Structure 1
């Protein structure tokens, strides 16, 4: 009887471990913590808070940006965590303002464009879309439709601002298998290049500069297969310097 009880407990423990491993892998493939956070949010009624659709970090950063002044001589870096994590003022100059928010998607960018549109800044460098694919599970087509809405806002409301459409960056699926397939990233970039031409904006290819021999994000530029280290930002900086307008004396 004791042996049967012990065997049962061992089997039960193993099954529990396997269940949690399977659950962890499932969550990881769906987008990790961001996916889990969004699912938990949707359990509760949205009427509890007007800020319930997006994580607190988004609203806190958005509120900061609404308080911080922008001028027509400023250059804006606009995007998600890959932009957010860049020390752009130190990399490129005092008039370069970071307007990246970690976790951002094309939809979230649209919801916070007002302060940028009102400032009529000189240049905007936009990189967005990877979280649409990874966290929101959107198709390339749906992502491009939202992206087009962003460009339409720029063209209609700040026609004198020079907008640069930056490619979405590659990912490294050997480091983390749950990141997005690079084939989808390539399709998205192909669509972004066409959109840039349609709106008469310049397309900047950063994607190809960070690839390894297997067409993935080179491991020398990343720890997690998605975000960038200092060396990668220097590569990115070197490209942007060719396009940025120096501030007036």
Structure 2
């Protein structure tokens, strides 16, 4: 017997039990009122309390069944990362390109270009339009911090423009925006502009809130062991971690 049938049987049984209990209590309450000539409000209160108690029990049972079904569904998900991203695309710069470079995702799930920033994405948007995914994850900002020279307002204006264009070209595609990944401490010291990275992410988060677009905060995913020698790009074993994070947020 599957969970759906179990839930129907439990709900039906509980509902029937609730009705019988309410009827019994009502009969007893009315009889008591008749014998003792007590104020009728006492009987009504008894019935209302019984009804409320039974409804609470039923709702709790249903909630427990739903949680159990969810856990079982998650436990049974044996799909590979590539399978989870069948209807999704990750779009970005050289960091994003690692998904295909290390064969973590299929080429049809990645639109990336080395050195890409928010300016001049017409070709990438054209490729995305051809793929026509249900979900797209944008991952830009590292190169934009340098090109905008720490000007978060200019960065956000560019991002808004890209989002507007994508919503026009792909109105049925749901957009998710990745936070800008932190760089290593040595890289922050080498390039002072990267010290503004946190401010860029905060501006990005606020923009997503205003635009009602999902923001994927990846900050806590990164640790020193994942960095390549340049302190910006990542080793192969980081990409499954990032992919699972996106899949979780988007319920892929």
Q: Please list every run of 5 or more consecutive structure 1 residues that lacks an aligned counterpart in the other structure.
A: 1-72, 212-217
C-alpha separation between the residues in 2 aligned to 1:108 and 1:227?
22
- 1:169 — aligned with what? 181
2:242 paired with 1:229 = no
Q: Does 1:197 pair with 2:212?
A: no
- Counterpart of 1:121? 133
* Alignment equivalent of 2:220, drawn from 208, 220, 240: 208
Kindly indicate which of the two structures has a greater share of residues assigned to helix.
Answer: 2
Per-residue CA deviation, residues 7-36 of structure 1 (Å, 9 max, x unaligned), is xxxxxxxxxxxxxxxxxxxxxxxxxxxxxx
Instruction: Tell me if structure 2 keeps the 8 A contact 1:126–1:163.
Output: yes
- Say which of 127, 130, 133 aligns to 2:145: 133
Residue of structure 2 aligned with 1:104, choices 116, 128, 135: 116
CA separation in 1, counterparts of 2:225 and 2:107?
31
TM-score by length of 1: 0.58
Correspondence list, 1:11-22, <5 A? none
In 1, are the aligned partners of 2:148 and 2:155 still within 8 Å (CA)?
A: no
Which residue pairs with 1:76 in the alignment? 89
Secondary structure in structure 1 of the residue aligned to 2:137: strand
Partner of 2:248: 242
Q: TM-score, normalised by structure 2?
A: 0.57
1:165 is paired with a residue whose SS is strand
Q: Does 1:151 align with 2:157?
A: no
| Residues 222 and 229 in structure 1, CA contact (< 8 A), matched pair in contact too | yes
RMSD value, Cα: 2.7
- Is 1:85 the equivalent of 2:91? no
- The whole-number CA distance in structure 1 between the counterparts of 2:226 and 2:124 is 33
In structure 2, relative to structure 1, the CA distance for the partners of 1:133 and 1:91 (3 Å cut) is same
- How far did 1:111 drift? 5.3
Question: Cα 1:96–1:192, aligned 2, differ >3 Å: closer, same or farther?
Answer: farther
